[in-house]
Each structure stands twice: as structure tokens, then as C-alpha cells.
Amino acid sequence: MDKYRENKQTRNLAVLSVFDENAEKIADFPALKTSVDDFRTVVSAVASQAQDAGSATAGKTKDKEDAEEAMFRVLMPVMGGLSAWARKNGDNAAYSASTVSESKLRRKRDTEQITDAGGLLKIAQDRVGKLKDYKITPDVLADLGQKIDAFAATIGTRESGVANRTALHTSIKALFADADDILEDISGMMESFKASEPKFYDEYFSAKQVKATGIRHKPPKNPPAQSQPGK
């Protein structure tokens, strides 16, 4: 959740705390008690879905990064060996495919990296019988193919996690809207306690305020000059 919604959730929990401490005061007010119970259900759903959203992509980015590194550890020696062989033997197609710098390849999108790595693998496989002296063997290429597939698999897993997290955030937004609506109903009914239970009334409306926490205000760039004594 963003900071504003975190603050609203803190507000909602504070409101529930007020009602927990004053449960006996609303025991004979069925409509208010029902609204408070509904409010509690929504607040609990927000907490649960926020936790699910936080874990939707947990670990998946690290898995993708690890798989990418594993692919590059095998890919770069194959590219280097293929480039050396191609230059010596005048194989322009192989040379062109194998002389892309690692930094340039890493800057590409994940799907482009997979496409380029797969294309180079195919070129190397077509020439593997000539590449043994360059430490490019069928086993090495088979390993590279596995690493490419593993990297591709992590991309799909992470994207599904992102989609799930996005859906959860949309649901959380709707839950906050429901909570606000219920809170307005509660506020209306709390007017019954303004005269009879002023402390309870004041505690509720104080808790209902959304307090901005965790925000640091920068000092003004040009603070007003301090007046000197005697001037």
C-alpha cells in the first residue's frame, strides 16, 4: 500500500480500538453494532490482501536475477569462443551474432535477451562439430539451452506475480472505499453519544482523523531572518 492508504489503515484500526474499549456503550444500538462489525470485516480484508500483495512477487525478482546470471555465465564463454572461431574462418553470420558486448546485451529487455541468446545457441549448434578446440561442445550447448529456458520460465512466473499484485491493489482500493462509506454511517449514528457520552464521542472523532505519519517536511530554502535583540 502507498503511504496514504497505510495511514488510513492505521486510522481504521484506531477507530476499531475505540469501539473495542467502549463495546458496552453500543451493545443496545444494533444498527451501530452491525456497522462496526461490517467495518471490522473490511479492515481485516484490507490487512489480509495487503499481505498477499506484498508477497505476490516476493523472491521472484531474485529468482529471475539468479537465472539471468546463470545464463550469462555460460553464454559469454560460448560467444567469445564462437567469435574467435568465426573471425578466423571468415564466418560472417556467426561473427556478427557473437560480437555483441555483454553490457549491450544486458541492457536489453528480458525477452530480447532470450531471443538473442537463443539465436546464438542455434548458430553454435549448427557449427558445434568445428568448435571443440574452443571449448564449445554439445554438453556446453545443452547446458546453455537449459539456462535460457530457466531464465525464460522465471520471467513468466514474475509477470504472473505482478499481475496478481496489481489485481490485489485494485481490490484493496475498493475495500478502502467500502470502509469510508461504512465509516460515514457510523459517524452519523455516533451523534447519539455527543451529549450522553462526550468522551466516547470525542475519542471516536479524534481516531477518525487520518494522521500523516512518516512524512518529513524539508525546512524552507530561505528561512525568514531572525530579528536581533534591540533592533
The string of pLDDT tens digits covering residues 124-161 is 999 999 999 999 999 999 999 999 999 888 876 545 54
What is the number of other CB atoms lying within 10 angstroms of the CB of residue 186? Answer: 20
Higher per-residue pLDDT: 82 or 178 = 82
> Burial code of 204-229, b = ≥16 C-beta within 10 A, e = fewer?
beebbeeeeeeeeeeeeeeeeeeeee
Q: How far apart are CA 123 and CA 113, in angstroms?
A: 15
Output 225 or 194, whichever has higher pLDDT: 194
| Helices 138-190 and 110-126, packing angle to 10 deg | 170
Q: Domain spans of the chain? A: 3-58+162-208, 60-160
60-103 pLDDT, tens digit per residue, is 677 888 999 999 999 999 999 999 999 999 999 999 999 989 99
